[in-house]
Chain A
Amino acid sequence: MTKTVEQLDRVIIRFAGDSGDGMQLTGDRFTSETAVFGNDISTLPDFPAEIRAPAGSLPGVSGFQVHFADHDILTPGDYPDVLVAMNPAALKTNINDLPKGRTLIVNTDAFVQRNLDKAGYATNPLEDGSLADFQVHAVQITTMTIESVKGIEGITPREAERAKNMFALGLMCWLYGRPVQGTIDFINDKFSKRPEIAAGNIAAFKAGYAFGETSESFSVSYEIKPAKLRPGKYRQINGNSALVYGLVAASIKSGLPLFLGAYPITPASSILEELANFKNFGVRTFQAEDEIAAVGSALGAAFGGALGVTVSAGPGIVLKQEMIGLAIQLELPLVILDIQRAGPSTGMPTKPEQTDLFNVMYGRNGESPIPVIAASTPGQCFYAAIEAARIALTYRTPVFLLSDAYLANGAEPWLIPSMADIPEIPVEFTTKPNRDDGSFWPYLRDEVTLARPWAIPGTPGLEHRIGGIEKANGTGNISYDPDNHDLMTRLRAQKVAGIAGGIPELEVDSCDGARTLVLGWGSTYGPIGAAIKRVRADGLAVDQAHLHYLNPFPRNLGEVLRRYDKVLVPEMNLGQLLQLVRSQFLVDAVGYNRVRGVPFKASELADAITALVNA
C-alpha cells in the first residue's frame, strides 16, 4: 500500500496512560529523538505525586506533552494534535483537551469492563459514538506487543505486557518520521543487565513502527523539518539539570568548592540527586535530616569559604526562613533555589505555581531584604544559577532563585555553552587586617558594594565572631544601640538595593505604536511570548518585557512601566508581582491570574491581552 507523506510545520503530541505504563519514559524518548532530529521542542510532563496510584484510576493518569516544530517555539502547546490514550482513565482525563477533528490513538485492549468502571464510563466510548468527532485509530497495542515478544527466552508475560509503551513509541516514531537508533541504543543500555528485557522492548518498539508502515489505519505519515535555530551544538535540557550545571559552572568560575545541603522534596529532589554525581568536581552534597539542617549546613559551609547552596520547594522554604534571616544578618553568601509548586501547605506537589514570590520577599522576621531572581526557561536556569551565585558572592548575601515545577521538568533544545565564554566570578577572601591599627573589623564594608569582608576560618590573625544578634557597624560587636540598629537596618537594605547598579536594564520587546505592555516573570516567559506573537499576527501593537530580577528590580523598570497606558501582568498566582509594581511605581497595572497548577495556554493569554487592548 502506498503511503503519502505530508509536511507539517509543528505538532503537539500527548502521551497519556497509567502511572505504571511508562508514559514519562515514552515522552522522554520521543523528545530525545525529536531533539536530535533537529526540531525545536518544548515539553510538559504532567504526572501525579503518587508513585503508583491504583492502576486504571483517574488520579493515576500520567501524561507527557511534547510540542515540536520546524521553527522557534516557546511552549509545550495549548492543545494536542494527537492524543495517545493507553487506557480509559487516560482517555477520560485528556479527551476534553483534544480539539475536534484531531487524532486519537487508543489501546483498545485496555478498554475492558473493569477499566471502564474505574474510569467511570457507563458505556464503552469506543463503541458508543462519543468519539465520532475525532480521527480514532483503535489499536490493539497490548495484544500486538505480547505477540511481538513471543519467542524471546526468559521474558515473563507481565514483562512482555509492560513493553506496550515501546510499541506506542514505535508507532509514533513512524508516524512522524523520527529516527529510531537512539531509542534502540537507549533500551540496550538501560536493560544491559537483562538482555531479554532489552530484546523484548526493542521488538515491541520495532513492531509499533512496522505496524504504522503496514496498517491500513494509517494512510499518511508526517514530516516536520528541522528548525533553523542559532547555529551551534545543541542538546536537550530540563530546568533542574540546567540549575545543576549552572551551580557547578559557578563553582568553577568562582574557584570555590560547591556544598549543597538539601532535604528531598518534589519537585526539587533531582537537583540533590544529580549534584551527588559531581563528586569529581569537588562537589559535596549533604542530604540533611530536615530542611533547616539543609540550609544550616550550607550556611556553615559558606562560613568556611564554600559556595553554599540549598534547594527546596515552598513547604521547605518556609522552614528555612529563620536560617535565611541569620544569613542576612551574618552577611554571608548563600544560594537558595526554590522550585515552586502549588500550595499552600502540601498543595499539589508536582504542579507549577508562582506563589512563593511574597514568601521569599517577605517571609522572615525583621527587616530582612534579600535579592530574588527568577529563571524563565529550562535552559535559562543555567545562567540564572550562575547569576545567583555571582550576586551572593559579590555582595555577601543570601540570594533566592525562583524556578518552578514546569521549568524543573520541562525540556527544550539548549545551545551548549562553552565554559570559556562564561565570565569569572572574582572572589577574594580577606587575609589581612583591614584597619590601620592592625585590627580586623568583620563589618567594615566595601564602599561600592557595601559587602563586608569574608575572612574564613584558617586565616591567622583575623579570628572573629559573628552572630544573629545585632552588631555594631564596623566592629561587628554585639550592639543594642538604637541608632546603630537603625543604621544597620538601612545598610542591609541599601546593599541589596544597590545590586540594581550591577544588573542589566530591563529590555523591552517592542513594536511600533504599542500602548500596552505585558510584564511577566519566571516560567510564563514561553506562554507570554507565544501569546504576543499571536496578537501581533492579529495586528495588535503590544510590547513585552520579562523580569529576571525581582529584587531589586532593574533600575529602569519604573520608567518602562510609565511609558504605557496599560500594563498587564500575567502570573500563576493571585497577583504578587502585580502588587509589587503597583505599590512601588504607582502604576495602574492589571493582572491576569490563574492558579490551576498548569502553565498558561498561549491562547488564553492572547485573549486576555486582546481584551485589555480593546478595553
Chain B
Amino acid sequence: MSENGNGGGGLLQLTAKDFKSDQEVRWCPGCGDYAILASVQSFMPELGIPREKIVFVSGIGCSSRFPYYMQTYGMHSIHGRAPAIATGLSTSRPDLSVWVVTGDGDAMSIGGNHLIHALRRNVNLKILLFNNEIYGLTKGQYSPTSPVGKVGKSTPMGSIDRPFLPLSLALGAEATFVARSIDTDRKHLTEVLRTAAQHRGTALVEIYQNCNIYNDNAFDFVRDDKANRIYLEHGKPVRFGADGEKGVVIAEDGAAHVVDVATVGEAALHVHDAHADEPNHAFALSRLSYGAHGGTPIGVFRDIDRPSYDELLTEQLATAVARKGAGDLDALLGSVDTWDV
C-alpha cells in the first residue's frame, strides 16, 4: 500500500461487487451515470487499495449522488464545495485515496473557485467531472458548459453565455493531470481512471455524460460517431478517422487544426507529449472541441510530475520537528518574558 493512497501492489481480492453499496441507485433510467458507476466499481479493485482507505466526496447535482452507491467512505456535501472538503481530508490524511465526483454546474459554476485552487495546489485528489452540459437535478437550465444558443428553461431564446471548456480551464489553472473520456466507452474510461489514480496530486478527468432527459444526444458527435474520437496517446502522432485518414497539426500561431494526413504527410502531424513541461500544446488540443462538433480528443492531455500539496505540507511538519523538536506547550508558554508573583 503506497503512502499517498494512490495504490499499487496490494494482494486484495476485491471485485466490483465489493464496491456496490446496499443503496438503490436513483438516477433516471438511461442516464449516463450508470455506465460511469459501473466502470468505476469494476475498476476500483485494480487499485489494490482496501475499501476503508477510499473516500468519495461529492457536491450537489445528479452526479453527486455517486458516493451513496460506493461501498467506501463517502460524503455527499453541498453545492460546489467538494474539492474544498476533500482538500482538508486529503491534506490531513495522506494515507487515503480521495475521489471527488462533480458535474459541470457543481464544478464549473458554483464551485469554480475551489476547483481551480485544488488544481493549482496539486492536492492529492482524483476529480471526476461528469459533463452533460446541462443542469439536470434542477430540471433543465443551461450550464456553464452549454453551447451558445442553448435553449433551456431559463434560456427560452437561447443562451448568450460563452461556455467554459473544462480542460482548457484546468490547464490554465496549472493542473498537473488533465484527461477526458466518454461514459459509454468503458475500456477507455477505465484506462484513463487507471492513469489518473496513479497520478501524484490532482487529476481532473472530464467525462462526457449523456443526460437523456434534459440534454439528450449532446455528445452524439463523439459518442455515436466514433470516427470523431481522437484517441490521444503519448509519444504518438495525433491521428483519427475511420482509417486514420485525419490528423492534427499545431500551426505556427499555436492553434491545433484538423488536417488530411494524405495532404500534409504523417511527419507534419503533432506528436502528443503528455509529459511536456509547458501546457501550451495540451491547451491547443483542448480547444479542438470548442463548438466544433467534429474531431474531439479524448485521453490524457497532460500528466506531469510535481509534488502534491499534502507531501509538501507533511515535509514542512517533519522539518519543523527536526528544527525545533516535537512541540512542548509548557516550554513554549514560558518562553517569553515572564515574571513571578
Contact = CB atoms under 8 A, between A and B. Distances in A.
A298 B89 CA distance: 8
A300 B341 contact: no
A308 B321 CA distance: 21
A232 B85 contact: no
A478 B76 CA distance: 11
Given A235-B334, A235-B338, A245-B333, A279 B320 contact: yes
A35 B337 CA distance: 9
A325 to B, nearest CB: 8
A298 B77 CA distance: 13
B95 A252 contact: no
Given A419-B330, A458-B53, A303 B340 contact: no
A457 B323 CA distance: 31
Contact of A32 (B67, B93, B337): B337
A454 to B, nearest CB: 12
A466 B330 contact: no
B9 to A, nearest CB: 18
Interface in A108-134: none
A95 interface: no
Interface in B223-278: none
B96 interface: yes
B55 interface: yes
Given A289-B117, A458-B53, A477-B23, A468 B77 contact: yes
A586 B221 CA distance: 69
A342 to B, nearest CB: 27
Contacts of A300: 57, 75, 84-90, 92
Contacts of A461: 52
Nearest to B313: A284
Nearest to A33: B337
A469 B76 contact: yes
A32 B85 CA distance: 41
Contacts of A458: 52-53, 93, 95-96
Interface in B304-337: 313, 316-317, 319-321, 323-327, 329-330, 332-334, 336-337
A281 B313 CA distance: 13
A12 interface: no
A71 to B, nearest CB: 13
Contact of A232 (B90, B91, B316, B340): B340
A418 B92 CA distance: 28
Interface in A264-289: 278-282, 284, 286, 288-289
Interface in B54-77: 54-55, 57, 60, 67-68, 70-77
A529 interface: no
B116 to A, nearest CB: 8
B52 A457 contact: yes
Nearest to A252: B329
A303 B75 contact: yes
Interface in A223-259: 226-236, 245, 248-249, 252, 257, 259
A434 to B, nearest CB: 16
Contacts of A468: 60, 76-78
A299 B78 CA distance: 12
A208 interface: no
A245 B328 CA distance: 11
Contacts of B78: 322-323, 325-326, 468
A464 B73 contact: yes
Interface in A290-307: 290, 292-293, 296-306
A471 to B, nearest CB: 10
Interface string B74-113: 1111100100111111111101100000000000000001
Contact of A257 (B57, B92, B337): B92
B186 interface: no
B50 interface: yes
Given A248-B329, A416-B338, A418-B330, A457 B84 contact: no
A202 interface: no
Given A296-B81, A308-B88, A463-B71, A235 B337 contact: yes
B88 A281 contact: no
A487 B86 CA distance: 30
A499 to B, nearest CB: 25
B338 A465 contact: no
Contacts of B60: 468
Given A282-B317, A323-B78, A468-B76, A234 B68 contact: no
A302 B92 CA distance: 9
A296 B341 contact: no
A73 to B, nearest CB: 15
Contacts of B325: 280
Contacts of A235: 333-334, 336-339
A36 interface: yes
B188 interface: no
Contacts of B67: 465, 467
Contacts of B71: 463
Interface of B: 21, 23, 50-55, 57, 60, 67-68, 70-78, 81, 84-93, 95-96, 113-114, 117, 313, 316-317, 319-321, 323-327, 329-330, 332-334, 336-341
Given A235-B336, A282-B327, A458-B95, 19 more contacts: A32-B337, A230-B341, A232-B341, A233-B339, A245-B329, A248-B327, A252-B327, A280-B324, A288-B117, A289-B113, A296-B81, A300-B87, A300-B88, A457-B54, A457-B55, A459-B52, A464-B74, A466-B75, A478-B68
Interface of A: 32, 35-38, 182, 226-236, 245, 248-249, 252, 257, 259, 261, 278-282, 284, 286, 288-290, 292-293, 296-306, 308, 322-323, 325-326, 330, 416-419, 457-469, 477-478
Q: Which 5 A-B pairs have the closest CB atoms?
A: A467-B76, A297-B88, A300-B88, A281-B327, A296-B84
